[in-house]
Structure 1
Amino acid sequence: MQKLIFISGSLLLILLFLSLPCFVQAQGLSSGIYKFNNILDRLFDEMLPLCERLIGVGRAVGGLGALFYIGLRVWRHIARAEPVDFFPLLRPFALGMAIMLFPFVIKIMNGALKPIEEATRAMTGDALDAVWYNIDQQEQAIKQDAPPGTGPSAPDMGKYEQPDGSNEGIFSGLQNVFTWFNIKSFIKVFIMEIVQILYTAVGLCINTIRTFYLIILAILGPIVFALSIFDGFQNSLSSWFARYINVWMWLPVANIFGGITSKILANLMTMGPGFFGSAVYIIFMIISIVGYTTVPNVAGYIIQASGRDTLLHKINNMTRAGGKVAMAAIGKL
């Protein structure tokens, strides 16, 4: 029974190994990534008109907020017998105009941020294509080249597999199968295929979640603009802009990370033609997969969701602290 289970499991692994390259090839996977990213870009453009349905609601909420905003300030100036300052009262009108032209506001923001994405995407293009090409060549070499000492079986090989002289059974050729594929190489190639799929899946997952967040922020943008007119919700406007830019920066940061890993792989290819089948390559791919999960946190270093630049804020605090220490030392002198 255990022997039958072992044979069945071995056949299942062999069939999975043989069918996996049919579904995933390096060059096909590379082209599929670009196609999937283009689909996500088109999805955002197709979903953007949905924000127009909330423009009317945003105008109504914004009009009510403008009434309270202007009325409170005018009444405050009249109560203090002060001249009315009209310049601060233009804020509700500016936000109302932005609500009415909200699709153009999104297009202007995307147009300003798009060059960053294109510049970072160009950083990874050539190196990534070279890596996928070399991976494909290594996979083909591993699958086509037989291990030394293997070859066509002799015509009378069956009598050695069946010493009693009986006919060959359905599992009698398993010896040739395991000899041909070399169990160690089989497991290594299988793991290599898995880590390549996971490496690609993590990058696509980041871009998919990023597009999902951007669509939600764009659709609910008119409501955010309208609520920011009310006192107490004014910070929501700067927070919305900061979150939109922060989420948008996920893809450029992922592109930069992909460019770094691709460049490292391109340099490691000089180690020899067998690098992509070694354990070092598999370990590096696992490290890259873990690194991709830190992309949202790294994007937070550029611009924080609260609208404050984290790195700049820390540098300013360190500079001020250093200045105070220096001034205290000078005072003691």
Structure 2
Amino acid sequence: MDFDQFHQTLRALYDSMMPLCGNMIGIAKGIAGLGALFYVAYRVWQSLARAEPIDVYPLLRPFALSLCIMFFPTIVLGTINSIMSPVVQGTNGMLQSETLDMQRYADIKDKLEYEAMRRNPETAYLVDNEVWDAKLEALGVMDVGTKAGLYIERAAYQLKKWIREAFRELLEIIFKSAALIIDVIRTFFLIVLAILGPLAFAISVWDGFQSTLTQWISRYISVYLWLPVSDLFSTILARLQSLMLQSDIDRMQTDPNFSLDSSDVIYIVFLIIGIVGYFTIPTVAGWIISAGGMGNFGKNVNNTATKGAAMAGGFGGAVAGNIAGRLKGK
């Protein structure tokens, strides 16, 4: 599954949905026009009743909002997206750089693991087909039991490796899916805010609803920041994984008998923690710019993260205990 392509599809979906703002502009202009009429009439009447000069400057507010409604996709969305786009590009560049480094260290680790097992006469036949064939040829016809033992050991090693790789791939898919879930929800929120944005601007013309404008802007920017925060979180995880791989590489180069079982357990627990951590992104984005009205969503996300952390802790403890018992038995 190409997750990067799916992220690009979400970007294209957002761009393709933006013309739907035009369907709301006509309704919003009517609401804003009626609100501007009452807004101006009330203040003009108030100044005349008090025999005060009419202050024209506050009366320009509904006309400015009406101008924003008429050219909403260009003036409002275009301006906000142009300002925030460099932030997204910068964090994505950091993520791509760290991902390349992580992949490079992972390839080096796999190569060192293969070479270490190949150099060891006791494990070379498990990974090298030539050594395996030579070992079978060296046995006689009567060594049926030994050959059966070798086949069992090789099958057990391959099964163990397959299970380990399959479980790691499953967790990696869930890990990437968590980031994809955040991006899908973010795109949905942005599309809804963008399409109904003209209505929010129109309602803010009316007295008593002026805060609707600032709330819409703060929510839109807060949701828009989910992607940069997600990229930063992924960058931190990639750097941490690169440091873990570097540590394993150094230990493999200095200690030929270094076992990767404990390293695999740490990596699995690390993936689970990363999955849970992705669901804290909306909360972190809310720290950058406060957006009201999203309390229930944040509460549900925090509850999910708490339950996931408990599951991760229990699973990690069980797996770590199992590995520790196996190592102790050896």
| TM-score after normalising by structure 1 | 0.71
Question: How many Å apart are 1:73 and its aligned residue?
Answer: 1.0
Alignment of 1:312-323 (within 5 A): none
- What SS class does the counterpart of residue 191 from structure 1 fall into? helix
Task: State the partner residue of 2:57.
Answer: 87
* Matching residue's letter, 2:65: L
- Give the direction of change, closer, same or farther, for the CA distance of 1:43–1:89 in structure 2 (3 Å limit): same
Matched, 1:101 2:71: yes
- 89, 98, 105: which is aligned to 1:118? 89
Give the conservation status (yes or no) of the 8 Å contact 2:105–2:246: no
CA contact (8 A) 1:192 1:277 kept: no
1:127 aligns with 2:103: no
Deviations 1:46-82 (A, max 9, x none): 1101101110000001001111111111111111111
Alpha-carbon spacing, 1:241–1:195, altered in 2? closer, same or farther (3 Å): same
Which range is displaced more, 35-44 or 275-284? 275-284
Change (3 A) 1:203 1:122: same
- Alignment match, 2:267: 281
Q: Higher helix share goes to which structure? A: 2
CA contact (8 A) 1:269 1:275 kept: no
Counterpart CA distance in 1 for 2:33 and 2:157 is 73
Percent identical among aligned pairs is 38
Are residues 1:73 and 2:43 paired? yes
Which residue of the partner structure matches residue 246 of structure 2? 270
Unaligned runs of 5+ in 2: 127-131, 250-259, 294-330
Q: 207, 214, 222: which is aligned to 2:198?
A: 222
- Contact 2:109/2:245 (CA < 8 Å) preserved in 1? no
The answer for the alignment partner of 2:284 in structure 1 is 298
How large is the RMSD of aligned CA atoms in angstroms? Answer: 3.2
Q: Matches of 1:116 and 1:277 in 2, distance apart?
A: 35
Contact 1:92 1:229 (8 Å CA) reproduced: yes
Q: Which of 186, 192, 197 does residue 168 from structure 2 map onto?
A: 192
CA distance in 2, matches of 1:272, 1:74: 76
Q: Equivalents in 2 of 1:189, 1:131: separation in Å? A: 17
Tell me the distance in 1 between the aligned counterparts of 2:109 and 2:180: 24
Question: What per-residue deviation string (whole Å, max 9, x for no partner) do you get for residues 277-329 of structure 1?
Answer: 6111111111111111100000011001149xxxxxxxxxxxxxxxxxxxxxx
Q: Per-residue deviation at 1:138?
A: 6.0
Q: What does the per-residue CA deviation read over 1:66-121, in whole Å, with 9 as the maximum and x for residues that have no partner?
A: 11111111111111111111111111100000000101120111000001111111
* Cα separation, 2, equivalents of 1:226 and 1:276: 60
Q: In 2, distance between residues paired with 1:275 and 1:215? A: 46
Q: After TM superposition, list the pairs within 5 Å mapping 1:30-41 onto structure 2.
A: 32-41=2-11
Aligned-pair distance for 1:179? 1.9
Distance change (3 Å), C-alpha of 1:291 and 1:246: same
Contact 1:55 1:100 in 2 (8 A): yes
Q: Distance in 2 between matches of 1:227 and 1:108?
A: 21
1:204 has 2:171 as partner: no
Structure 1: 5+ residue stretches without partners:
1-23, 25-31, 162-171, 308-333
CA contact (8 A) 2:248 2:263 kept: no
Q: Which residue of 1 aligns with 2:25?
A: 55
Change in 2 beyond 3 A, CA 1:138/1:193:
farther
Residue type of the partner of 1:292?
Answer: Y
Task: Answer with 277-286 or 217-226: which moved more.
Answer: 277-286
Mapped pair 1:260 → 2:236: yes
* Contact 1:138 1:277 (C-alpha < 8 Å) held by counterparts: no
Structure 2 counterpart of 1:211, which letter? T
Q: Distance in 1 between matches of 2:285 and 2:78?
A: 21
**C-alpha separation between the residues in 2 aligned to 1:53 and 1:156?**
83
Q: Is the 8 A contact 1:77 1:84 kept in 2?
A: yes
Q: TM-score, normalised by structure 2?
A: 0.72
CA contact (8 A) 2:203 2:209 kept: yes
